[in-house]
Amino acid sequence: MPEADKKAPKVINKSGTLKMTDETAARKEVRDIAGKKMDRRNRRDRVKADAGPKEFDEITIAVDRVSRTVAGGRRMRFKALVAVGNHKNKVGVGVAKGNDVTTAVAKATSKAKKSMITFNMDGETIFHETRTKVTGADVLLKPAAPGTGIIAGGTVRSIIGLTGVKNLISKSLGSTNKVNIAYAVIEGLRQQVPRKEWRAAKKEDK
């Protein structure tokens, strides 16, 4: 043992075991079964390596407990509604169930990323008014002047907040089911047509 280690004061843990000093720990070598020296990676290094810029932001809109009656009784599970967006013109919604909240949210996030859409934007608002219906949900989306902000309820505001739309007026006219409202908002954004294509669309209608 080096002389420095002999002279260094011994630090005892609460459990009574000997604790290495920082200098001793830094010099300690870790070897594998074959005796080869291994690179040391502590937990902090692993966190720094994994933490990178996220391409998409996600928000959990709702988590509900659902039950299913089976032969042995009731089977309790969780259903999560998650929205994903890049704060530009890409957004998606996913719904999934799981035995616990974490599993349900993870599955819903994966589904939302797979079902993302790219919609057309007019600056910081949408091009035109849309009214979309998904089962009982009926959602009206209208463009707004700069400085208006997002005038919307809970579910609509959560989804629009993940896009680059800053000015919007909306109204939910039908069911209050959050899942159906979310899909109605996505459908309304998908239907956005750029202004330069309006005339072509009118000619086709005629």
Q: Is the CB of residue 8 less than 8 Å from the CB of residue 23?
A: yes
pLDDT in tens, 85-110: 998 899 999 999 999 999 999 999 99
Q: What is the pLDDT of residue 15?
A: 59
Q: What are the chain's domains?
A: 3-50 (no CATH), 57-117 (3.30.160.20), 119-197 (3.30.230.10)
Over residues 10-44, the pLDDT tens digits come to: 656 655 666 666 666 666 666 766 667 666 555 55
Position 200 scores a pLDDT of: 62
**pLDDT tens digit string along 154-197?**
899 999 999 989 999 999 998 999 999 999 999 999 999 998 88
